[in-house]
Chain A
Amino acid sequence: MLIPWNRVSHLLDDVHASFFSPSPSLFLTSNIEGLPPHYPRWRDEGDVASLTLEVPGYAEDDIVVTIDGDQLIVTGTVDDHPPEGYTLRRKERQGGRFKHAFKLAPQWDSQTLRAQLANGLLSLSVSKAVKDPVRRISVNAQPQEVYDA
């Protein structure tokens, strides 16, 4: 059976979306540059949530996290050249530059975002946006117009 390429392409998009979105209801992500991060994990703990990305070999100064509206952008740059005096024989690790964008759902407050790097794992934590408390609006009677007949 032949499947038209545009259908295959849509299927690939679905695979792409499911791979990149650790939690589809919370993050929609796209890969702007470089290979995607490995094993993005979303951990929802009620009032706080965290997204973990595997970035082995990248130091604190190699990673930049920015917020632009509801977009969370993570950029990494690392020198991927062979160490001095060495010749590359086999390459499997991802290196160089990557740039990923994640869309933060409105229930999360981007102002509370914190980033932490430990042992090649980048953890981004975010708190839930504080909702305005429910307010009761008093209903006032319109003053009756009095006609003096």
Chain B
Amino acid sequence: MLNSSKQCAQLSGSRSMKADFYTSDESLMVLLDMPGVPQDGVNVTYQDGRLVIEGTGLRGDQGTYRRAFRVSEKYEVNRTIATVDHGVVRLEIPKHADAKAVRIPVNTA
């Protein structure tokens, strides 16, 4: 799912935010704490297999946030849905259709 050893990348002067990671049969969900950052202050990019989340607060003294993590190829990152609510960024990254678990019906012989 994630490459934890390379999960956290920080720039000087920026804060790394705390995150929770969840998975379901359909998708990967990441919640990231970014207090003080409004919706238009959040920037999510995907480059070289890494998803980078950056945020800038309204007040200068709150600094900037940055966190990057690798996402497995079984997830379709370009279909990520990102929302912001009460200072928490929520990313939902769906699995590729062929990576989803398929239930095989078991029939009697």
Contact = CB atoms under 8 A, between A and B. Distances in A.
A119 B22 contact: no
Interface string B30-66: 0101111110000000000000000000100100000
Interface stretch (A5-13, A18-26, A66-74, A86-94): A86-94
Interface residues of A, number: 24
B88 interface: yes
Nearest to B87: A120
A15 to B, nearest CB: 21
B24 A85 contact: yes
Range, interface on chain B? 20 to 34
Contacts of A88: 20-22
Contacts, number: 77
B31 to A, nearest CB: 6
A89 B36 contact: no
A119 B84 CA distance: 9
A89 B36 CA distance: 26
Interface in A105-133: 117, 119-121
Contacts of A83: 22, 29
Contact of A93 (B2, B20, B58, B85): B20
Interface of A: 38, 41, 54-59, 82-83, 85-94, 117, 119-121
